[in-house]
Amino acid sequence: MYEDRLIEMFSKAINDEYTSVIIYTKMASFLRGVDAMPIAKELLEHADEEHIHAKKIVDYVSKHGLESELEYCVDFEEINNCPQDLQGVVEKTQDLEQEAIEHYRKMAECAKGQNDIETYHFVKGLMEDEIEHFDDIAAYTQETRGFLTGVGAVPINDEIAEDKYSDIINILRNR
């Protein structure tokens, strides 16, 4: 049933957002040195934005009378296995953002397939924010490639993402 699948997807999104808040805050606290401060600041900003996402999702689900169906479960294993070096932090951040983009893309497809236009647009808005987060980290790694060897960030607008996210990328480009 669509509603069950949607609740499952919203539960995962909320849990992932709260997990990301903790991970980003924890990783920012590990970073030291002048070179790491811009990424630490970015991580704390992303943590705030992920917290806002979680609250938006809870409000959205509550508005539709489905809040009692949500299952909350923060991923403590993932939280406890945070990298502490700059390169590891950047890679983990990119991974989390890519996972969020993919999850919101699937949610948008699900909503669109069920002609749930309101949910489709709500989820696309969250996905746009995650794309922006990915781009922030990608831009940082492009600027710092000299000391971040091995971190191969590719901005979201390159050919890798064109196929999967072309509709969102076009929206962002036309702002």
Give the pLDDT confidence of 155-164 residue by residue, as tens digits: 333 333 344 4
How many Å apart are CA 60 and CA 69, to the nearest integer?
Answer: 13
Domain enclosing residue 113, as ranges:
2-173
Q: What is the pLDDT of residue 132?
A: 94
Q: What is the pLDDT of residue 109?
A: 94
How many Å apart are CA 39 and CA 141, to the nearest integer?
Answer: 9
Question: What is the tally of structural domains in the chain?
Answer: 1
- Using a CB cutoff of 8 Å and minimum separation of 24, what contacts does 103-107 make? 103/9, 103/12, 103/13, 103/16, 104/13, 104/130, 105/164, 105/165, 106/9, 107/6, 107/9, 107/10, 107/13
Q: Which segments of the chain have a pLDDT < 50?
A: 146-165, 169, 172-173, 175
Q: What's the pTM value of the predicted model, to 2 decimals?
A: 0.78
Which CATH number fits the domain that encloses residue 11?
1.20.1260.10
81: which 2 tokens? Answer: 């296995």
Q: Is the Cβ–Cβ distance between 44 and 31 less than 8 Å? A: no
Q: What is the pLDDT of residue 64?
A: 87
